[in-house]
Amino acid sequence: MASTTATDVPKVELHGSQLHKVVDADYVEDLQYSHMLAKEKDEISPEYFRSTIFIGTMVSMSLTVVSSYFGFAVPASVITFINEDIGKP
């Protein structure tokens, strides 16, 4: 897959019913940063997905999502009892 340059993917703005191509310095900078942060599939070794850093990251993100869910779900299921205990305003 060929890499994309700023001229390959122009920013487009809508003015009335006319589309105008806009390639400004901020757009080019954002595009360059996105290319620095991204990698092609062929550039990543297969061992990366079995590394402790990757697996630890996935486990920690999963635990964060689960704890956020339970932090909301449990109080939401008993909100009527909580309202009875503290009294409604």
Please give the pLDDT value at position 74: 86
**What gap in Å lies between CA 79 and CA 85, rounded to an integer?**
10
Residue 35's pLDDT is what? Answer: 85
CA-based nearest residue to 11, from 3, 24, 1, 2: 24
Local confidence pLDDT in tens for the 89 residues of the chain: 455 555 565 556 655 555 556 667 777 888 888 888 888 888 888 898 899 999 999 999 999 999 999 888 888 888 888 888 888 66
pLDDT at 7: 54
